[in-house]
């Protein structure tokens, strides 16, 4: 009995919250749109002494992922401690609620007595509520009550994508000395953008130095655990927005003062480096763990420091959904050495026209050189349709240009990562297997998370079966797709028809009789993929009807932003030669809808797509 009594006492002591004077302050310093291009990560072009000083006192993580390669979904991951596709928040600037019982991590910290500040960007991709004591450009730990522990974020935008193309700018880093990755063409414009990127990293580093100086001036350095990380890969094209390592890998450094060294993981070593796989999904449970708060069960990440540290994880996961005006679906897994990408929309090229991305000089010259036939295979890859699977050896091919998915020597690791990703998608109930309009319509008044956990409304395993079949490009499986075209589940019908679009003209012509009836499908998403197929390769009468259907569904006033964006993407996939007779109808499409600005922050999506369509059609006359 004494033995069990002792166990009870030890268990109670272990799970008791930390006393006020035992709780560390926690400072997060974050920067935007930059990968590990820092001196402490061995980058010889970088000039980042202040961030390097954090690394000298702490540990750098060699395998840290943002989970999403763009800011809003990446921030969803951080604030919730969950993978955004499990919440329906995988799209850039989405409009998704979370269940009421899921609190955001600052709420748990505040309940425990922490003073929580955010200076100042939020962009969580979902309603944030009143989760901060202060969130503004004046938010600071200095405004807390005397003796109150703090959690403070300072987010610096200096290295953001928009800053690396801002002109005039006189380069400080020599463009001739920067390293151009194998997927970019080596041109003056590309070198200029990379040099300016390094210049902005230096400016950002100086801001980091000012924050560290304030911490020391306030006598808080010995009481504060410091995190530094970037919010996703660099703002250069094929980094930001793309779930390669170049878009997902971020610098992450954690520094413990001696007073709180006991809260660090066993692999923590001052001035050291860790190969532990960590990601943004792990940040919320980790900060709660450091504060002595047990992470709630709904959080899908794992604490990598603190009282509730979990075992190291064998895989990291990432994703890509809609990027501004362009729909896509990519899911990713890595074991640190290899990265595996599964493309569910391989008929779309990598570098589809995103207006914001095309404002960067590198993007413009890169695309023009492709059009002119001046690129090699590695540089051309971004502008061409995607394979269903990609596998890269990050140790021997850090630029990820040599796809090993078909390599006989790499089939075991391919199967391992393929299986790990499949299990992850199932266990987290990935909502991305529903097109965005269907996802919200099917959820109704419930949250997407609640809908996806109802097997009557979301038979994920069955839908995934058809999605895999649809995206693998095997022409021998057209008959298998035909079986699903008239299924009772609209998601199954959507994927079976998308599979015909993936396979192209021959498949569509074989099954156009089946497609015709779906121009009147009850689901707008199914009507759109059927109309895209027939508008591209249907008989003339069906083609005319299909184009008319796509134009109608592109009306944002009538159908709302989700449907209109999906329809405009499909309309853009149609040969512009076929659209010349519809110029007036396309030009007349409305571009405004109340929910665009209020709920989605997507006010530029519809006009960007319409403008781009008109440019393509008008170019046919030149």
- Which three-class secondary structure state does DSSP give residue 406? coil
25 DSSP β-pair partners: 224
* Cα angle 323-81-93, degrees, rounded to a multiple of 5: 25
How far apart (Å, rounded) are the C-alpha atoms in residues 425 and 430? Answer: 5
Nearest to 159 by CA among 190, 198, 122, 121: 198
How far apart (Å, rounded) are the C-alpha atoms in residues 411 and 535? Answer: 39
DSSP 597: I
How far apart (Å, rounded) are the C-alpha atoms in residues 206 and 107? Answer: 31
- Which three-class secondary structure state does DSSP give residue 520? helix
Which strands, in side-by-side order, build the sheet including 338-343?
A: 316-320, 330-334, 338-343, 389-393
How far apart (Å, rounded) are the C-alpha atoms in residues 1 and 527? Answer: 69
How far apart (Å, rounded) are the C-alpha atoms in residues 496 and 466? Answer: 6
Quick check: is 116 catalytic? Answer: no
Number of CB atoms found within 10 A of residue 423's CB: 12
HEC per residue, 103-152:
CCHHHHHHHCCCEEEEECCCCCCCCCCCCCCEECCCCCHHHCCCCCCEEE
Catalytic residue among 46, 71, 566, 613: 71
Conformation bin of residue 306: beta by default, left when phi > 0, alpha when psi is -120 to 50: left
Nearest to 496 by CA among 521, 471, 519: 471
CA dist 194 → 23, 234, 353, 514, 580 (Å): 42, 10, 21, 50, 39
Catalytic residues: 71
């Amino acid at each position: 009995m004494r033995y069990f009594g002792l166990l009870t006492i030890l268990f109670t002591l272990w799970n008791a919250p930390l006393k006020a004077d035992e709780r560390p302050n926690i400072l997060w310093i974050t920067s935007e749109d930059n990968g590990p291009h820092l001196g402490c990560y061995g980058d010889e072009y970088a000039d980042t002494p202040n961030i390097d000083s954090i690394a000298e006192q702490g540990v750098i993580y060699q395998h840290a992922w943002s989970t999403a390669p763009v800011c809003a979904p990446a921030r969803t991951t951080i604030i919730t401690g969950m993978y955004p596709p499990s919440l329906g928040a995988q799209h850039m600037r989405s409009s998704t609620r979370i269940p009421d019982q899921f609190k955001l991590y600052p709420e748990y910290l505040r309940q425990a007595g922490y003073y929580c500040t955010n200076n100042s960007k939020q962009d969580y991709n979902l309603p944030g509520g009143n989760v901060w004591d202060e969130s503004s450009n004046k938010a600071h730990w200095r405004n807390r009550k005397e003796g109150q522990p703090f959690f403070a974020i300072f987010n610096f935008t200096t290295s953001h994508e928009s800053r690396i193309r801002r002109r005039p700018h006189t380069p400080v880093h020599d463009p001739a000395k920067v390293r151009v990755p194998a997927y970019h063409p080596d041109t003056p414009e590309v070198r200029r953008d990379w040099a300016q990127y390094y210049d902005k990293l230096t400016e950002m580093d100086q801001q980091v130095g000012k924050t560290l100086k304030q911490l020391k001036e306030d006598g808080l350095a010995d009481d504060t655990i410091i995190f530094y990380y970037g919010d996703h890969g660099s703002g250069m094209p094929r980094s930001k927005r793309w779930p390669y390592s170049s878009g997902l890998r971020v610098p992450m450094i954690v520094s413990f003062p001696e007073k709180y060294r006991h809260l660090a993981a066993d692999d923590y070593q001052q001035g050291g480096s860790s190969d532990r796989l960590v990601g943004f999904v792990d940040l919320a449970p980790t900060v709660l763990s450091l504060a002595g708060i047990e992470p709630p069960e709904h959080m899908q990440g794992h604490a990598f420091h603190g009282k509730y540290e979990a075992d190291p994880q064998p895989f990291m996961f990432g994703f890509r959904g809609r990027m501004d005006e362009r729909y896509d679906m990519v899911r990713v897994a890595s074991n640190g050495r290899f990265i595996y990408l599964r493309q569910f929309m391989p008929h779309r090229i990598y570098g589809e026209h995103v207006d914001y991305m095309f404002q960067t000089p590198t993007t413009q010259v890169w695309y023009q050189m492709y059009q002119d036939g001046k690129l090699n295979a590695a540089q051309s890859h971004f502008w061409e349709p995607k394979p269903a699977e990609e596998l890269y050896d990050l140790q021997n091919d850090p630029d990820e240009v040599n796809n090993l998915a078909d390599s006989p020597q790499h089939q075991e690791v391919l199967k391992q990562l393929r299986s790990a990703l499949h299990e992850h998608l199932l266990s987290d109930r990935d909502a991305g297997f529903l097109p965005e309009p269907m996802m919200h319509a099917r959820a109704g008044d419930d949250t997407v998370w609640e809908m996806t956990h109802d097997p009557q409304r979301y038979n994920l395993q069955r839908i995934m079966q058809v999605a895999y079949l649809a995206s693998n490009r095997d022409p021998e499986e057209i008959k298998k797709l035909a079986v699903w075209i008239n299924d009772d589940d609209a998601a199954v019908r959507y994927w079976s028809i998308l599979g015909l679009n993936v396979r192209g003209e021959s498949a569509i012509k074989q099954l156009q009789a089946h497609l015709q009836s779906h121009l009147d499908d009850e689901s707008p998403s199914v009507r759109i993929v059927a109309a895209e197929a027939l508008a591209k390769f249907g008989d003339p009468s069906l083609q005319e009807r299909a184009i008319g259907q796509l134009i109608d569904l592109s009306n944002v006033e009538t159908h709302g932003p989700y449907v209109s964006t999906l329809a405009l993407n499909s309309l853009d996939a149609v040969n512009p030669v076929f659209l010349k007779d519809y110029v007036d109808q396309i030009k007349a499409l409305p571009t405004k809808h109340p929910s665009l600005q209020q709920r989605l922050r997507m006010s530029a999506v519809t006009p960007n797509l319409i403008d781009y369509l008109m440019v393509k059609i008008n170019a046919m006359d030149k």
